[in-house]
Amino acid sequence: MMIIRNKEDIPSSEITEEKVYLDRRAFFKKAASLGLIVPGMAAKLVQASGIFGLFPPLKPAAMPHDPLTSFHDITHYNNFYEFGTNKSDPSKYSGALSTNPWQVKIDGLVRRPGVYSVNDLIHKYPQQDRVYRLRCVEAWSMVIPWSGFPLGSLLKQADPLGHAHFVEFWTLYDPKQMPGQRVPVLDWPYREGLRLDEAMHPLTILATGLYGKPLPNQDGAPIRLVVPWKYGFKSIKSIVRIRLVEHMPQTSWQMAAPDEYGFYSNVNPKVNHPRWSQATERRIGEWGLRRTLLFNGYANQVGSLYSGMNLRKNF
């Protein structure tokens, strides 16, 4: 599989000209030395300066041929609170997690509940390569070459009952292997949820690998969810249980801070997090900021799932 793109393949339109970059740096350095910039203001200044013609407007988060984030960044800048809350903790502390054999239970409102080994799932469902943008609620993003299979294939096999409207996901609970679970930063085990139609959408995958290799532990081995139009925290890692239910389930982040994390958590530049803007994002490995796109740039594919819904209310 040839997915690693050479530097030469990156269109020059995507590379900030050196002079523009240096001018921008000098501007911010000067402003900071005069005490004009406080943390969090940079994004606003870049946007405003674009309006006044000082700098070119920010480029959008999705451009054709966006370079992939490096394997090193994807595997060393992680959120996986079961191994600590610093970005570098998961790569340092997840190595001892035993991921083979690993079983995933699917139960609840289905005609065919079951327990599957991840190895069987990998053989049963042809693995597909999907390059997706992952946009974290903390306003950074990456471009990741996943491999996996549509969650919908597994759900169809389980055959949901007519009154199954939501899907609930659980991460492994094992404080011996996951030291972060010894600290009550979240209500463990990590739990997430999707509406059934979101779960069945062909863009929603269960990922088992990245960059053509099995999923590294810090990225959610051996099997994790990836929902590319939602904030990264919906993409729950190291899944052991998938349950179909009638009512909207509680999720770990909603339980922790209901005003800050809604059930839907669709990427939306117009709906800010109560403590920071969601209008821009920092692509890991790049300088500067990009303009965040509605549904993380996947609006054409998923917008119809939310037609008629108030996205500010259903954040």
Q: Determine contact, residues 168/191, Cβ cutoff 8 Å.
A: yes
DSSP class of residue 183 equals S
Nearer to ligand MTE, 82 or 281 (CB): 82
Nearer to ligand MTE, 55 or 229 (CB): 229
State the number of binding residues for ligand MTE (CB under 6 A). 16
What is the C-alpha separation between 255 and 248, in angstroms, rounded? Answer: 13
Q: CA–CA distance from 256 to each of 161, 250, 260 (Å)? A: 31, 10, 9
71-110 positions binding ligand MTE, by CB under 6 A:
78-82
Nearer to ligand MTE, 97 or 244 (CB): 97
If one counts every other C-beta atom within 10 angstroms of the C-beta of residue 84, the result is 20
Nearer to ligand MTE, 79 or 266 (CB): 79
Q: How far is the CB of 234 from ligand MTE (least distance, A)?
A: 7
Coil, helix or strand at residue 210: strand
Coil, helix or strand at residue 7: helix
Nearer to ligand MTE, 99 or 109 (CB): 99
Q: Which of 204, 235, 251, 280 binds ligand MTE (CB under 6 A)?
A: 235
Mask of contacts with ligand MTE, 189-228, x by CB under 6 A? -x----------------------------x---------
What is the C-alpha separation between 87 and 257, in angstroms, rounded? Answer: 21
Q: Which of 68, 136, 139, 289 binds ligand MTE (CB under 6 A)?
A: 136
What lies within 8 Å, CB to CB, of 297 at 6+ separation is: 60, 61, 62, 133
171 sits near ligand MTE (criterion: CB under 6 A) = yes
Coil, helix or strand at residue 169: strand
Q: Which helix (H) or strand (E) holds 145?
A: strand 140-150
Which of the stretches 27-35, 231-239, 259-267, 272-280 binds ligand MTE when contact is defined by CB under 6 A?
A: 231-239
DSSP class of residue 216 equals P
Q: Which residue is nearest to ligand MTE (CB)?
A: 232
Question: Which residues would be at the binding site for ligand MTE (CB under 6 A)?
Answer: 78-82, 134, 136, 171, 190, 219, 232-233, 235-238
